[in-house]
Amino acid sequence: MSIIYEALRKAEEKDKNKVTPNKNKSILFSILIGLVVVLIFVGLTFNLIKGRHKRRVAVRKVYFTKKHYQEDKLILEGIIYDEGRPLAVINGKVLREGDSVGNFKIKNIGARNVQLIGTKQDREITLTF
């Protein structure tokens, strides 16, 4: 009877130490999930550290010099053309239709020209490149 008992006990010990395929898969899955969590944590930490360096902004000083325009001379510097609300830059001022510049009132702003109405004469100035 003791020989049978010894054989059964040895067989049970072998079964306890034996890793079944299902146990093996669950262990590998647990290790894989652990690695993914660690990689995500490391990646987020690295991005936060790297992101702080990207947030630094260099400020550049820009200086504007004020141009002095002659009263009698009108210089068309640019046109922002929109059919609903065109704008013209004349002598450094942004103007709309109906605004005044010097002795003239802006009648119409086209894509390349501005028509002005004056007290003595009408005038048209063209945008040159």
**Residue extents of the structural domains in the chain:** 2-54, 76-126
Q: What pLDDT does residue 16 have? A: 62
pLDDT of residue 68: 73
pLDDT digits (tens, 9 = 90+) for 32-91: 899 999 988 888 777 766 655 544 555 555 565 667 777 678 889 999 988 888 999 998
Beta-carbon-side half-sphere exposure of residue 14 (alpha carbons within 13 Å) = 6
Q: What is the dihedral of CA 104, 110, 112, 113, to 10 degrees?
A: -20
CB 79 within 8 A of CB 86: yes
